[in-house]
Amino acid sequence: MYSLLKLFLRSVFPAAAADWILLGADLLALATIPSVLVQRRERPLAALSWILALLAIPFGGVVGWWLLGRTHLLRHVRKRKRSGQRMDAEHPEAPPRPLEIPRVIREILPFALHGDRRWTEGVFPPADATNVSVLEGGAEAFSAIEAAISAARTEIRALFYIWQTDETGRRVAERIAERARAGVKVRILVDGVGSRPFLRELAKPLRAAGVEVAGFLPADFRPWAPTFNFRNHRKLLLVDDRMGFIGGMNIGREYEREWSDQCVRLQGRVLENLDAVFQEDWLFVTNRTIGDMPRPAASEPTAATALCTVIASGPDREEHRVRDGFFLAITNAQRRVWLASPYFIPDASLIDALRAAALRGLDVRILTPRQNDVWLAALASRSCHGQLKRAGARIFEYLPRFLHTKNLIVDDDLSVVGSANVDTRSFRLNFELTCFIASAEVNATLTSIFERYCRESAEISQVDLEQKGVVIKCLESGANLLSPLL
């Protein structure tokens, strides 16, 4: 790249001028290296990758770093911390009833038991959840979501990364508008980049119906305060005091009809924690506090009970607690680790944790899609297949359609659902919402779905890996080399 730029500059400018331009590019790269070392001090491989990019791609590496490379949101961190402090002052919590904390929570999420860490680490103490239902497939999920919206009586709060303007997105928006016209208080918060068409086309008619609509961090390319690389990837719907929906599904046709996905419907005290996540994001975007959703009634039926630990992670947090939770869950597993992710690009420590689990004789299974909507992610994902297979892990590629499901199943009593993928972007850059669920019933349901997905998949064999051509191996290694830059 450097030589090509030099040839180009010398074809356009006199040789001396071209040399001065290249010298300026080198000086900019050298001046940027200290920023890389500070921002990536805990990730030496990522730091090395960025330094190589700075030196190998004149000007382009520098521009890429200042627009994409930084993981901080210093002003926004301060604002979000102030938001949390204001909410704690205005909405003091009643002390939760004593809970019997199972081993799976005590050992895997010890940081969730050390008081209320909502605003410093984004980790909520364990809370009861009742009537937990796994909604597998878009038809079942959207039917339940739209039924809940139609039955709303007091308030709806919705937070989504993507809200499409296709027939599915417009239909759900119209149902919400109908409830708003009927007097239901509705607030919708969508990501400013992922849902840009929604904000452009559907926000106005929704506001005309009485819905409050806000966009989270519209794209900003200013190098001194970039925001377009920090997206709100959360998916959350809260309806009255009755139920909430979390998971990996956005609002759109592909989620309803084309992809394999799932979400979880739940009730109980956990809704208070999920509502606090929405309140914090709403306050951050609008600078206005809103009251709590009505509390769940004490007498509500408890057809199934679980204990849920909610983690709201993002680049405004000092610790990456979703990633920590995944790591601890894998390293503390006693029988099995089953993981499904559409974008499976684990860092070195997570790969080591999965390898160690497999080497200990645990049943380790990785499920990813054969057809991926991001080709670079698919290549990077396959680069780690060899070392996982050699350790004894089983790897499956789902065949029928794109698999957007994201969950982790550990032993017989822990399940992890939410919006986070197993990649750097979800663990470090995006605002994510994840729920660690201690429940044998939920675990069994997700296990049944996972087993069916495996039967519909092609299992990667050692022969498959050995038959890869040199070109494919190089492409996969190159894609994996780029993954720390994300």
Model pLDDT for residues 339-348, shown as the tens digit of each residue: 999 999 998 8
Burial class (CB in 10 A: 0-12, 13-18, 19+), 23: exposed
Q: Is the pLDDT of residue 68 over 80?
A: no
Catalytically annotated residue among 76, 128, 233, 316: 233
Dist CA 337 CA 355 (whole Å): 11
Annotation says 275 is catalytic: no
Identify the pLDDT of residue 95: 44
Task: Give me the sign of the Cα torsion angle 17, 20, 26, 27.
Answer: negative
Query: What's the pLDDT score for residue 117?
Result: 47
Phi–psi pair at 156, nearest 5 degrees: -130, 135
Say whether 406 is catalytic. yes
Q: From the candidates 275, 324, 406, 423, give the one annotated as an active-site residue.
A: 406
Helix %, strand %, coil % of the chain (to 5): 50, 20, 30
Q: HSE on the CB side for 152, CA within 13 Å?
A: 32
Residue with tokens 């382009």: 60
**288-332: pLDDT as tens digits:** 999 887 664 554 555 557 999 999 998 888 788 999 999 999 999
Cα distances from 56 to residues 27, 31, 63, 370, in angstroms, run: 13, 15, 13, 33
For residue 64, pLDDT beyond 60: yes
**Marked catalytic residue, from 76, 128, 191, 235:** 235
User: Measured in Å, how far apart are the chain's first and last C-alpha atoms?
Assistant: 21
Whether 158 and 237 have beta carbons less than 8 Å apart is answered as yes
Both tokens of residue 441? 């019933």
The CB-side HSE value for 292 (13 A sphere, CA atoms) comes to: 17
Which pLDDT belongs to residue 87? Answer: 46
C-alpha torsion 376→382→384→388, nearest 10: 150
Assign 228 a pLDDT band (cuts: 50, 70, 90): low
Q: What angle do CA 459, 464, 467 make, to 5 degrees?
A: 170
Catalytic residue among 275, 281, 411, 413: 411
Element (H, E) at 409: strand 407-410
Instruction: Give alpha helix (H) positions in 40-73.
Output: 44-56, 60-64
Question: Among this protein's residues, is 233 annotated catalytic?
Answer: yes
Q: What confidence score (pLDDT) does residue 39 get?
A: 66
Phi and psi dihedrals of 41, rounded to 5?
-65, -25
69-102 pLDDT tens trace: 555 554 344 445 554 444 455 544 544 445 677 7
234 vs 58 pLDDT, higher one = 234
Alpha-carbon torsion 66, 69, 74, 75, what sign? positive
Q: What pLDDT, on the 0 to 100 scale, is given for residue 375?
A: 81
Over residues 222-248, the mean pLDDT reads 82
Task: Report the 10 Å Cβ neighbour count for 430.
Answer: 25
Give the C-alpha separation, 23 to 415, whole Å.
54
Q: At what angle do helices 167-181 and 138-150 cross, to 10 degrees?
A: 20
Tell me what the pLDDT averaged over the chain comes to: 84
Q: pLDDT tens across 408-455, in order?
A: 999 999 999 999 999 988 998 899 999 999 999 999 999 999 999 999
18-27's contacts with Cβ under 8 Å and 24+ in sequence apart are 22/58, 25/58, 25/59, 25/62, 26/55, 26/58
Model pLDDT, residue 75: 39
DSSP string covering 347-376? -HHHHHHHHHHHHTT-EEEEEEESS-S-HH
What is the pTM assigned to this prediction? 0.83
Residue pair 418/435 in contact by the 8 Å Cβ criterion = yes
Share of the chain above pLDDT 90, in %: 55
Contacts of 359 (CB under 8 A, 6+ apart): 391, 392
- Cβ contact 331:363 at 8 Å: no
**What gap in Å lies between CA 180 and CA 209, rounded to an integer?**
6
Annotation says 240 is catalytic = yes
> Which pLDDT band holds residue 31 (cuts at 50, 70, 90)?
confident
Catalytic residue among 191, 240, 281, 324: 240
Q: Which of 42-56, 329-343, 357-371, 389-403 has the lowest mean pLDDT?
A: 42-56
C-alpha Rg value of the chain to the nearest Å:
23
Active site residue 473: no
User: Which tens digit of pLDDT belongs to each residue from 4-20?
Assistant: 655 655 666 676 776 67
d(Cα 86, Cα 119) in Å, to the nearest integer? 11
Percent over 70 (pLDDT), the chain: 79
76, 320, 385, 404: the active-site residue: 404
How high is the pLDDT of residue 374? 82
Q: Looking at residue 73, what is its pLDDT?
A: 56
166 is catalytic: no
- Distance (Å, whole) CA 59 – CA 98: 58
